[in-house]
């Protein structure tokens, strides 16, 4: 019997959604919670000129950092890049454009994109050129704010501990980090998961990301997924 929901797919199927020059949003914090199989798939396919949106640039050989280190990104929107020396090097060499966004503001920009808002107002960093740049400013109740545009992506990738056949997701402790927000903000959201279970197995109170936000489920290496609906 075939998967009745059509969400469980192979890595090969997922790679059909990745192409040169695309905007890619990723979950994770320093590599924790970033989907390793999908990152490796992007590397193997040779995808380049990516615009990456996420908390950080990982470490040189961990998480999204592998894409940055191998010069697959043309732009990064992140809260910091300090854990990956290649990101700083490429930025100074003019090979990588970096848009810095304070961590909380970045999370809110992603959330805004996920719920359909055009942006948010913030007074964080309004006097810091690195953050404020040429962003629009507005005055509300006598106080000035920066207009921080919402963030979305062609594809969002997340990493979860468990998923059912509909795509409801549970994360493992701190690996939850930005994943729930990222899952909401992609036109296509692909979740790499460690375990796939039948419908009704997950406790509804434990589900963090509802399946309505997830388009495809990719079993991470070593997961036997066929039994889930057989």
In a domain, 15, yes or no: yes
In a domain, 176, yes or no: yes
Longest Cα separation, the chain: 63
| Digitized pLDDT (tens) for each residue of the chain, 230 residues in all | 345 567 999 999 999 999 999 999 999 999 999 999 999 999 999 999 999 999 999 999 999 999 999 999 999 999 999 999 999 999 999 999 999 999 999 999 999 999 999 999 999 888 888 788 889 999 999 999 999 999 999 999 999 999 999 999 999 999 999 999 999 999 999 999 999 999 999 999 999 999 999 999 999 976 555 544 44
In a domain, 179, yes or no: yes
- Identify each DSSP E strand in 31-136 by its residue range: 50-53, 73-78, 97-100, 119-122
Contact 43, 73 (CB under 8 A): no
| CATH number assigned to the domain comprising residue 200 | 3.40.1080.10
In a domain, 59, yes or no: yes
User: In the structure encoding, which two tokens stand for residue 13, read together?
Assistant: 């199927």
What residues contact residue 45 under an 8 Å CB cut-off, 6+ apart? 15, 18
Range of 102's domain?
11-228
* pTM score, whole prediction: 0.92
In a domain, 34, yes or no: yes
Three-state DSSP state, 76: strand
Which residue bears the tokens 């740049």?
133
In a domain, 52, yes or no: yes
Q: How many domains does the chain have?
A: 1
Q: Which residues pair with 190 in a beta bridge?
A: 157, 216
């Amino acid at each position: 019997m075939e998967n009745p929901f059509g969400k469980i797919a192979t890595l090969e199927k997922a790679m059909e959604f990745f192409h040169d020059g695309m905007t890619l949003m990723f979950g994770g914090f320093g590599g924790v919670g970033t989907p390793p199989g999908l990152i490796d798939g992007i590397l193997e396919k040779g995808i380049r000129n990516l615009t990456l949106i996420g908390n950080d640039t990982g470490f040189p050989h961990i998480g999204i950092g592998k894409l940055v280190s191998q010069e697959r990104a043309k732009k990064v929107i992140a809260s910091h890049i300090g854990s990956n020396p290649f990101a700083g090097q490429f930025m100074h060499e003019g090979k990588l454009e970096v848009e810095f966004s304070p961590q909380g503001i970045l999370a809110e920009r992603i959330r805004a994109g996920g719920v359909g808002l055009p942006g948010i107002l913030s007074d964080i960093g309004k006097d810091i050129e690195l953050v404020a740049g040429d962003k629009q400013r507005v005055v509300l109740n006598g106080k000035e704010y920066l207009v921080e545009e919402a963030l979305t992506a062609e594809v969002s990738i997340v990493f979860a501990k468990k998923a059912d056949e509909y795509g409801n997701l549970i994360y493992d402790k701190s690996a939850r980090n930005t994943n729930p927000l990222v899952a909401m903000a992609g036109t296509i959201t692909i979740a790499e998961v460690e375990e796939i279970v039948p419908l009704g197995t997950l406790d509804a109170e434990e589900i963090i990301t509802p399946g309505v936000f997830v388009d495809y489920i990719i079993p991470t290496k070593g997961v036997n997924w066929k039994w889930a609906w057989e």
